[in-house]
Amino acid sequence: MQGILAKTEEIIHGQHPAALCIVIDTKGSTPRKQGAKMIVYANGSIYGSIGGGTVEKEVAEIAVKLIASGNPAKVSFNLGKDLGMHCGGMMEVYIEPLNPLKKLYIFGAGHIGKSLAGFARELDFTVTLFDPREDIFRDPAFDGFNCIIKDYFQAIEESVFDEHTFIVIVTPKHVSDENILAAVARKPHAYLGMIGSNRKVDLLKQRFLEENILTEEELAGIDMPIGIKFQAETPREIAISILAKLIDIRNTSLSNNR
C-alpha cells in the first residue's frame, strides 16, 4: 500500500498520466479482495496488482481508455461468465485517472510573481520562480517554492519545458521580459504570457517581426498583455487576472481531452 501511495504522489508531481485502480467489492472466490490496488500507465504498463490474469488485463485496457478521456469509472465483472476465470466470483473495480499537476514557471519574483505563486499553489499548480536577485527570496512568502536564483537565460537552458508547462513573464525590466520571451517562445509549453501595456506589446511585435525573431503565428499564440481583461490595478489583482487565464487554459485543455 505504501508503494502505491508513493507512486500516486510521484505521478501527480511528474509528467506521465496514469490511473489508480482499486477493488471496491468482491463476492465469492476472487484472486484479490476489497482494497487491492494497482496503477496503470498510459502505455498499458502496470504497478501493483489486483489479481493478475484476465481481469487485470481487462481493467488495464479500460484504464488506458479512461486516462485518455480523463473520466473515472466503476466496472464490474463476473469472473467466470464474463472473463472465463475458474475462480468464478464477482469483482467491482473503481478506476480514477491521475493527471500530473501543471507546471508553472514564473520569471520575475517581484510583487506580481510572488502573489501569483501563492494563488497558483492553492489551485494545483506546481510553481517554480526564476529571479537572479538572491535577497528577494528571503521573504517567508517564498517558503516551500522551487526558487531558481541565477541568470534567467542560464536557468532557461537548465530547465525542462514540456506540454504541461505554463510560462509567465513578469520581470522588473521590459528588456528582460522581451529577451526571455524570445528565449522560451519556441520551447514546448501549454501557455505563454508576458506582462506589458498595449503599446509595449505592439512595439515588441513589430520588432520581433522585423528582426525575424518570431513569426506572426507564433506571436498570436502568446498571451500579451497577459491575463483575463478586467480593471486590475494592484499586484494581487493583476496576479488574479493572470491566474484566471491559466485556469481557463488548463480546464479547457482537460475538457477537450474528455
pTM above 0.95, yes or no: no
* Structural domains for the chain: 2-98 (no CATH), 102-256 (3.40.50.720)
Please, is 122 exposed, middle or buried when counting C-beta atoms within 10 Å of its C-beta (0-12, 13-18, 19+)?
exposed
The pLDDT tens digits for 61-73 are: 999 999 888 889 9
The C-alpha atoms of residue 84 and residue 54 are separated, in whole angstroms, by: 8
Q: What is the pLDDT of residue 1?
A: 47
pLDDT class of 163 with cuts at 50, 70, 90: confident
The C-alpha atoms of residue 153 and residue 122 are separated, in whole angstroms, by: 28
The C-alpha atoms of residue 39 and residue 50 are separated, in whole angstroms, by: 10
The string of DSSP codes covering 11-79 is HHTSS--EEEEEEEEEESS-SS-TT-EEEEETTS-EEE-SS-HHHHHHHHHHHHHHHHHT--EEEEEET
